[in-house]
Amino acid sequence: VQLVESGGGLVQAGGSLTLSCVASGNIYKVNTMRWYRQAPGKQREVVAGLTTGGSTNYADSVKGRFTISRDNVDNAVYLQMNSLKPEDTAVYYCNARGYYSLGGPTFDSWGQGTQVTVSS
């Protein structure tokens, strides 16, 4: 399963960006899709997650500013980021977990990452 992210870039503090991630390949079902980020010198951390059923979770640092959404038909996930802060600067990664086939093996795939830079 391949994940392709897009939408990163350079933005001023207070600005907005929307990240996109599309999963493709031999997919029966995608369960949870998540966005992670990794800033220089820091560990990768989960930013937001969304299950097929619509349950969401967010890191405390982004609650009220970021919104995760998905398109179950196209196996896509989006991250709308508003009121961006310099501390949001990081490489953002998409993660998807699901099944290759009904009752079959699972996958846990990652995208290549997209850089988000927020200037002060």
pLDDT digits (tens, 9 = 90+) for 74-85: 899 999 999 999
Q: State mean pLDDT over 43-56.
A: 95
pLDDT score recorded for residue 106? 93
Q: State mean pLDDT over 86-99.
A: 97
Average pLDDT, the chain: 96
Share of the chain above pLDDT 70, in %: 100
pLDDT score recorded for residue 72? 85
**Which residue is associated with the tokens 């929307």?**
18
pLDDT digits (tens, 9 = 90+) for 3-31: 999 999 999 999 999 999 999 999 999 99
Q: Look at strands 9-12 and 114-119 and give their pairing.
A: parallel
Q: How many beta carbons lie within 10 A of that of residue 66, not counting itself?
A: 20
| DSSP output for 56-117 | EEE-TTTTTTEEEEEETTTTEEEEEE-S--GGG-EEEEEEEEEESSTT--EEEEEB--EEEE
Share of the chain above pLDDT 90, in %: 92
pLDDT score recorded for residue 103? 83
pLDDT score recorded for residue 73? 87
The span from the CA of 92 to the CA of 39, in Å, is 9
